[in-house]
Amino acid sequence: MKHRLKTALLVVALLGVAAQTPLSAAPIKKAEQQTVKKGPVKAAAKAPLSAKSATSKSTSRYAATKQPSRNVAAKAPLGKSASAGAVKKTSIAHESSRKLVRHAVLTDIDPGRLALYSASALVIDQSNGQVMLEKHPDMVVPIASISKLMTAMVVLDAKLDLQELIAIGDEDVDGLKGTRSRLPVGTTMTREAAMLLALMSSENRAAHALGRHYPGGMHAFVQAMNKKAHALGMYHSRFDEPTGLSSNNVSTAHDLARMVAAAARYPEIRSYSTTAEAKVELNGRIRDFHNTNALVRSDTWEIGVSKTGYISEAGRCLVMQARVADKPVVIVLLDSQGKMTRVGDANRIKRWMESAGLAVERRRV
């Protein structure tokens, strides 16, 4: 009897265990299914996809690279462990994006990528003497009317009376290139007016008259030009006359950078070479003259010294001392093919420098 009772109790106990097992297992399985659908597992799976998206887009513009990283951070905090993993991946995405953005910006400001159409070019930071850009800077080439900056310095060094009247003579007529002039033979003007027209409008007769009225005449004047060049360290330069019409007036971009920097120390040269236009009384008549460098009329340029030049042997040339991207610089562009390419090159250099300055500010932030 006792044996049957024990057997019955054992059977009842086994049946109870078997009955309880499926009842507790079913809710656990359901909970797991809900976790897969809505829990942190799916959120954690999405995080690396967003990080990959941020990395692949990080070579585009700076503003566009930050958006994917913000999306990752917004989706992450669904569970404790998943949140930590997502935050870590978000940090990696930010770091990767930041590095790639800086690399892309620095590539954009690489001076080697500038398409300059001048055969010889040089940009020097005057604050520290650093060469910022160069292209065949030691090539000896004709410099055309850039010579007139040296002409003006020699006249000013001699401390001649700028109000003294000088006259345009037959000797000042261009017999080499046959260029025209708005200054007829017999025109009289002050030495100051002649210097203004030579620097601003590149008047060849005015420049030649300045040399001819120098103490000792033209020969002494040319000697003074070459002596001044040597004193400035322009060892690859030579001057034959004051206008630049002769292709024997030669120099290099490096030498001309020295000359422009020296010319910038003369207030008269700074003023006359950057005058946009002027009304000059000649033989009782008022005539309008304009600067040969269109950039001096631009509100986006801050130019201290300017001079253009052109003869067929030299191509189109431009030298300037200016302030660009808050830096004092000397820009030399020689033998540029095409009427507007020297101006285009100057503007490309300006945009490049401004982009470089912007990139530096971004890196500081």
According to DSSP, the residues that pair with 237 across neighbouring strands are none
Does residue 362 surpass a pLDDT of 50? Answer: no
pLDDT recorded at residue 359: 52
Q: If you average pLDDT over every residue of the chain, what do you get?
A: 78
Under the banding of pLDDT at 50, 70 and 90, the label for residue 115 is confident
Average pLDDT of span 179-202: 97
State the catalytic residue, choosing from 148, 228, 307, 350.
148
Residue ranges of the domains in the chain?
1-38, 40-108, 119-364
pLDDT recorded at residue 152: 98
Average pLDDT of span 127-153: 97
pLDDT recorded at residue 1: 52
Is position 145 annotated as part of the catalytic site? yes
Q: Which of 67-76, 128-137, 196-205, 230-239 has the weakest average pLDDT?
A: 67-76
According to DSSP, the residues that pair with 290 across neighbouring strands are 277
Q: Alpha helices, DSSP H only, in 58-145?
A: 62-65, 67-75, 80-108
b/e per residue, 55-93, with b = 16+ CB within 10 A? beebeeeeeebeebbeebbebbeebeebbebbeebbebb
pLDDT tens for residues 79-102? Answer: 434 444 444 444 444 444 443 333
Under the banding of pLDDT at 50, 70 and 90, the label for residue 164 is very high
State the catalytic residue, choosing from 202, 246, 273, 306.
202
- For 142, the enclosing helix (H) or strand (E) is strand 141-142
For 77, residues 6+ apart whose C-beta sits below 8 A from its C-beta are: 83, 86
How is residue 52 written in tokens? Answer: 């990959």
Residue 96 region by backbone torsions, left for phi larger than 0, else alpha for psi between -120 and 50, else beta: alpha
Average pLDDT of span 198-206: 98
Residue 207 region by backbone torsions, left for phi larger than 0, else alpha for psi between -120 and 50, else beta: alpha
More confident residue, 43 or 258: 258
Per CATH, the architecture of 119-364 is what? 3-Layer(aba) Sandwich (3.40)
Does residue 166 surpass a pLDDT of 90? Answer: yes
Is position 148 annotated as part of the catalytic site? yes
Measured over the CA atoms of residue 90, residue 95, residue 101 and residue 107, the dihedral's sign is negative
pLDDT recorded at residue 114: 79
Average pLDDT of span 39-54: 36
Q: How far from 31 is each of 12, 15, 38, 43, 83, CA to CA, in Å?
A: 30, 26, 11, 17, 20
Average pLDDT of span 142-153: 98
State the catalytic residue, choosing from 69, 120, 145, 237.
145
